[in-house]
Amino acid sequence: MDFPQTQRTTLKRLPKRGVYDRELVYRILDEGFVCHVSFTVDGQPFVIPTGYARMEDQLYIHGSQVSRTLRTLSQGIEVCVAVTLVDGLVLARSAFHHSLNYRSVVIFGRASIVEEKEAKLAALFAFSEQVVPGRWNDVRQPTDRELNGTTVLSLPLLEVSAKVRTGPPIDDEDDYALNVWAGVLPLRMVAGEPIKDARLPESIEPPAYTLNYRRG
Ligand SMILES: Cc1cc2nc3c(=O)[nH]c(=O)nc-3n(C[C@H](O)[C@H](O)[C@H](O)COP(=O)(O)OP(=O)(O)OC[C@H]3O[C@@H](n4cnc5c(N)ncnc54)[C@H](O)[C@@H]3O)c2cc1C
């Protein structure tokens, strides 16, 4: 089911790039793992980058209990979250028509604390899966002390829009005759060779998920 368009999530600029399709929004959210969370404290706006995970129709963020961002958001104030994936550089024949191919999502809402231990663990598992699928089961699980020192917030995915640009540059008709290269330079996130920790015993091999790491 599509996200309902609200006054806040209706695109005014290039509305044809707007997407409210839930499956597409979820695909964008699942490909990323860094969001920018914005909120206001006493009239002062803040934008803070942080990791996230999506599970069903909730977006989770987490961090230290003493984090200002988490303490502030846990009061249930209005928050706006953005996720951006850059897919390519769009090189046009004129400076004006240069662009980016991208997929982005903007979410409005109010977050709440995940209190219950099992739900908190499920969210932490989701964070781990969002970044490195398969990692969680290899590592020591959180102690109660670690769990108590971590705040997990969930933000319901209710008021959400995506905006997507794909395809070649769109030049002014006269400019197609110019002797200038034009097209798209695709960009993607690529993992390098794993660098082992200095204290790792020789006998421990890098897991497959580090050797074959891919996103998207
Ligand atoms: C890619 C990425 C992923 C992250 N993932 C997480 C996560 O999952 N959980 C988590 O708790 N934190 C994460 N962080 C760190 C996060 O950005 C905050 O620094 C942290 O959560 C502390 O928040 P706070 O509100 O207590 O910051 P405070 O220390 O209260 O912030 C005070 C001021 O410090 C500056 N500041 C804070 N953070 C940053 C920053 N990242 N870059 C530049 N200036 C900054 C700002 O001016 C801010 O107003 C991540 C950061 C990045 C870049």
**b/e for 104-140, b at 16 or more Cβ within 10 A?**
bbbbbbebeebeeeeebbebbbbbbbbebeeeeeeee
Nearest atom (ligand 1) to Cα of 69: 25
Cα-based torsion angle of the residue sequence 130, 131, 132, 134 in order, rounded to the nearest 10 degrees = -20
- Who lines ligand 1 at CB under 6 A? 34, 46, 48-51, 62-64, 67-69
What pLDDT is recorded for position 38? 98
How does pLDDT run across 30-56, given as a tens digit for each residue? 999 999 999 999 999 999 999 999 999
Measured in Å, residue 207 CA sits from the centre of ligand 1 at 29
Q: Which amino acid is at 78?
A: E
- CA–centroid distance, 63 to ligand 1, in Å, is 9
Residue nearest to atom 28 of ligand 1 (CA): 68
Residue 16: pLDDT above 90? Answer: no
Q: Whose CA is nearest to atom 10 of ligand 1?
A: 63
pTM beyond 0.85: yes
Residues 51-82 have pLDDT tens digits of 999 999 999 999 999 999 999 999 999 999 99
Exposure string for 26-54, b = 16+ CB within 10 A, e = fewer: bebbeebbebebbbeeeeeeeebebebbb
How far is ligand 1, taken at its centre, from the CA of residue 137, in Å? 27
Distance 37 CA to ligand 1 centre (A): 10
Does residue 1 surpass a pLDDT of 90?
Answer: no
164-179 core/surface letters (b: 16 or more CB in 10 A; e: else): beeeebebeeeeeeee
- 17 band by pLDDT with thresholds 50, 70 and 90: confident
Residue 107 CB-half CA count within 13 A: 27
Rounded distance from Cα 13 to ligand 1 centre (Å): 30
Of 150, 58, 67, the residue nearest 109 (C-alpha):
58
- Ligand 1 pocket test, pick from 33, 37, 48, 68 with the greatest ligand atom count within 8 Å of Cβ, gives 48
pLDDT in tens, 154-205: 999 999 999 999 999 999 999 999 999 999 999 999 999 999 999 999 999 9
